[in-house]
Structure 1
Amino acid sequence: MAGKPKLHYTCGRGKMESIRWLLAAAGVEFEEQFIEKNEHLEKLRKDGDLLFQQVPMVEIDGMKMVQTRAILSYIAGKYNLYGKDLKERAWIDMYVEGTTDLMGMIMQLPLQSAEMREKNLALIIERSKTRYFPVYEKALKDHGHDYLVGNKFSWADIHLLEAILMVEECKPDILSAFPQLQAFKGRISNIPTIRKFLQPGSQRKPPADDKYIANDSD
């Protein structure tokens, strides 16, 4: 029997957090090897464990996988969260890329000056309201299903919930104009594996604070 996937990254969200979300939603237990010092990262590089010299890296099924998108696609496919055919996979990919763009903007905030942070926070809220959330609101309203693609729980749903919660950390009432997304958030949050991941004490990581940023830049 294969061992648990092992995740190599810092003890923070970053690019690994969506991988944690996907594994947790699939009901897969995983271990984490935190990279706390530059020496830890250099050892992984020296040992040839990092194909492109970068983390995140996930040990799974005898592979040492790098590149966030490749890792996520593999996990989604392995645990039947990637649609039933190429068309559904294409829709999942489009939805995921949209939420990835939005979350990428949020992940950059702690690295910015106070002035830039305030400016970009306003941009994130504006883009959420006018570019990203209307797409998902319309999709759910038009097809009348519980899930984004094929009326089946998929990677797209997991990623969207992660994005919603990240934006709500910036603006708690962001969903006030999106009733479909409010209902969606409630449904997906109550899936047992996700409900477990959202509880205190899980492997979900908190937003980056100044201490994490300082340590991560060492």
Structure 2
Amino acid sequence: MPMTQGYEEKKYMMGDAPDYDRSQWLNEKFKPGLDFPNLPYLTDGAHKITQSKAILGCIAYKHNLCGETEREKIWEDILENQLMDNQMQLARLCYNPDFEKLKPEYLEALPAMLKFYLQFLGKQPWFLGDKIALVDFIAYDVLERNQVFEPKCLDAFPNLKDFISRFEATHFPL
């Protein structure tokens, strides 16, 4: 998956909160000709893509990292949306001013959430079966974030721990 061809690292400085200075990006925002000017964006030939999910989808389509059968595509949509919901739950918690008060409730609900992923994965190597897909990258990200948040959260879920290890051992050529 050669992904670095044509990569150009652009950084826009915004300064510190609460007075973010967005002028550097705002002065450039409309120059790339994006339909919905936003960061990040990807220019891939004639395609100019914004929104992280759309960019990931484009990369997945291009490199055959999508579900192939109708069943796989449906599962992929279900799992991706569930993962994004769980990712947002953790983000909302972490940025909430009442973090310390709300953290125990999140940790109490975490095993039930992980159990769903355990059942969905089953004994398969990847969430859609034998072939890695974009949804596995998203699952890894969500599971790893929860493991950073609560290091022992996967201890009762050996197949999810195995999934993490398998993902980390997989070579993704760039």
- Which TM-score tier does this pair reach, normalised by the shorter chain? 0.7 to 0.9
Alpha-carbon shift at residue 119 of structure 1 (Å): 3.5
Equivalent residue for 1:129?
111
- Alpha-carbon distance in structure 2 between the residues aligned to 1:175 and 1:152: 23
- Alpha-carbon distance in structure 1 between the residues aligned to 2:79 and 2:170: 20
Pick aligned residue for 1:140 from 121, 143, 150: 121
Alpha-carbon shift at residue 50 of structure 1 (Å): 4.1
**Residue identity in the other structure for 1:77:** Y
Q: Is the 8 A contact 1:125 1:167 kept in 2?
A: no
Which digits, 9 at most, give the CA deviation of each residue in 1:40-95, with x for residues without a partner?
A: 22123343644334322222233221122222221111111102133312211211
Q: Is the 8 A contact 1:56 1:68 kept in 2?
A: yes
Alpha-carbon shift at residue 175 of structure 1 (Å): 0.2
Higher relative contact order (CA 8 A, sep 6+): 1
- Alpha-carbon distance in structure 2 between the residues aligned to 1:162 and 1:27: 21
- Alpha-carbon distance in structure 1 between the residues aligned to 2:33 and 2:100: 39
**Residue identity in the other structure for 2:44:** I
Quick one: structure 1 residues 35 and 50, their matched pair in 2 at CA, closer, same or farther if it must change by over 3 Å? farther
Alignment of 1:161-176 (within 5 A): 161-176=140-155
**Residue identity in the other structure for 1:122:** P
Structure 1: 5+ residue stretches without partners: 1-25, 197-218
Does 2:65 correspond to 1:65?
no
Equivalent residue for 1:188?
167
Q: Is the 8 A contact 1:81 1:154 kept in 2?
A: yes
Quick one: structure 1 residues 186 and 52, their matched pair in 2 at CA, closer, same or farther if it must change by over 3 Å? same
Equivalent residue for 1:213?
none
> Is the partner of 2:25 in helix, strand or coil?
helix
Quick one: structure 1 residues 185 and 117, their matched pair in 2 at CA, closer, same or farther if it must change by over 3 Å? same
Q: In the comparison of the two structures, how many residue pairs are matched?
A: 165
Q: Is the 8 A contact 1:83 1:150 kept in 2?
A: no
Which digits, 9 at most, give the CA deviation of each residue in 1:120-166, with x for residues without a partner?
A: 433443343112x112211232xx22111132111121111111111
Equivalent residue for 1:104?
88
The TM-score with structure 1 as length reference comes to 0.66
Structure number with greater Rg is 2
Alignment of 1:16-165 (within 5 A): 26=1, 28-29=3-4, 30-37=7-14, 38-47=22-31, 49-113=33-97, 116-131=98-113, 133-141=114-122, 144-165=123-144
- Alpha-carbon distance in structure 2 between the residues aligned to 1:32 and 1:89: 33
Q: Is the 8 A contact 2:40 2:50 kept in 1?
A: yes
Quick one: structure 1 residues 47 and 168, their matched pair in 2 at CA, closer, same or farther if it must change by over 3 Å? same
- Alpha-carbon distance in structure 2 between the residues aligned to 1:55 and 1:183: 34
More helix, by proportion: 1
Q: Is the 8 A contact 2:37 2:50 kept in 1?
A: no
What is the identity percentage for the equivalent residue pairs of Structure 1 and Structure 2?
A: 22
- Alpha-carbon distance in structure 2 between the residues aligned to 1:123 and 1:60: 43
Compute the RMSD of aligned alpha carbons: 2.3
Structure 2: 5+ residue stretches without partners: 15-21
The TM-score with structure 2 as length reference comes to 0.81
Equivalent residue for 2:18?
none
Quick one: structure 1 residues 147 and 48, their matched pair in 2 at CA, closer, same or farther if it must change by over 3 Å? closer
